[in-house]
Amino acid sequence: MKLDTRVFPDMDALSRGALEEVSDNIRDAIAQRGRFVIALSGGHTPAKMYSLWGAPGKYRDETPWDRVHMFWGDERYVPADDPLSNYRMTRETLLSHVPIPAANIHPAPTSLPTPEKAAGAYDAQVRGFFGADEPVYDVTLLGLGPEGHTASLFPGSPALEEKQRWVVAVQVAAKPPNRLTFTLPVFNRSRNTYFLVAGKDKREILAALRSEPDSQPSQYPAGRVRPAHGRVLWFLDQAAAS
Ligand code: 6PG
């Protein structure tokens, strides 16, 4: 499949490039709809971008924080202060450094009796936020796993076939195994989707994605994210791209 890539020399440049794009999206979304809604990704790669956004400077200062709403496209089913929590990583790199109202932060719940109950609760929360509208995020950030997973949609998972629920609980072959994830009906409605991919261990999976025919559904979850009315950009560092 054809990937629309932007290649940067290193993580710092990649993070700035992605943030620059997000800043444009914030301006447009607020001008058109009065708010900006983002689904964040976890993993290691976006941490640098979150830190840049939260650091003193133009990105932080020019963001109208009271108009910004943050959700997580996937979350590990661990307490919010666990080292593996995507929320915790975002709080430390970004949220604790910016004046975003608490009511605009919408983390996935991870302390209900079961992940399934938590997925149902987050699904209801997302539906409550969008009301009668479809769940159209202005920006969705995603990462890429070495076997083609994205968010917590892993190859072969029944979650990939989900058509009704917007959030499901999954068990995955990674640490930690219990996770919540948005489903393809949500990811495939996003206005802008940015994959942030860095490091040489992502080369092989990028080559595999590129070698797939555009005419067939991808065998990789990341390749199944193809919003009919949205834009997908791949932000790569040189190490991943070469
Ligand atoms: C997670 C993710 C996951 C991640 C990829 C890439 O919660 O683990 O959202 O899909 O984005 O595994 O992770 P890295 O950025 O650490 O390579």
pLDDT-derived band at 52, boundaries 50, 70, 90 = very high
The answer to whether the pTM exceeds 0.85 is yes
| Average pLDDT for 3-28 | 98
List domains and CATH numbers for the chain.
Answer: 5-241 (3.40.50.1360)
How remote is the CA of residue 34 from the centroid of ligand 1, in Å?
30
Ligand 1 atom closest to the Cα of residue 174 is 8
| pLDDT value for 46 | 98
SS3 202: helix
Q: At what angle do helices 47-54 and 11-33 cross, to 10 degrees?
A: 60
**Residue listed under structure tokens 């991943």:** 240
SS3 35: coil
How remote is the CA of residue 42 from the centroid of ligand 1, in Å?
5
Nearest CA to ligand 1 atom 13: 43
In whole angstroms, give the CA distance from residue 90 to residue 81. 11
Contacts (Cβ under 8 Å, ≥6 apart) of 237: 7, 8, 9, 10, 11, 13, 14, 197, 198, 199
Closest CA to 152 of 106, 126, 115, 189: 115
Phi, psi of 197 (to 5 degrees): -135, 125
How remote is the CA of residue 153 from the centroid of ligand 1, in Å?
10
pLDDT-derived band at 226, boundaries 50, 70, 90 = very high
DSSP single-letter state for residue 102? G
The pLDDT tens digits of the residues spanning 58-93 come to 999 999 999 999 999 999 999 999 999 999 999 999
How remote is the CA of residue 15 from the centroid of ligand 1, in Å?
15
Ligand 1 atom closest to the Cα of residue 143 is 11
How remote is the CA of residue 173 from the centroid of ligand 1, in Å?
13
The pLDDT tens digits of the residues spanning 137-190 come to 999 999 999 999 999 999 999 999 999 999 999 999 999 999 999 999 999 999
Ligand 1 atom closest to the Cα of residue 46 is 15
Nearest CA to ligand 1 atom 12: 145
What are the angstrom distances between the C-alpha of 33 and each of 13, 20, 27, 221, 230? Answer: 30, 20, 10, 30, 16
Ligand 1 atom closest to the Cα of residue 44 is 16
| pLDDT value for 170 | 98
Residues within a 6 A CB radius of ligand 1 = 41-45, 74, 76, 86, 143-145, 149-152
| pLDDT value for 135 | 97
The pLDDT tens digits of the residues spanning 78-137 come to 999 999 999 999 999 999 999 999 999 999 999 999 999 999 999 999 999 999 999 999
Ligand 1 atom closest to the Cα of residue 198 is 17
Reported in sequence order, the residue ranges of 50-166 that DSSP labels E, i.e. its strands, are 68-72, 74-76, 105-106, 139-142
| pLDDT value for 202 | 98
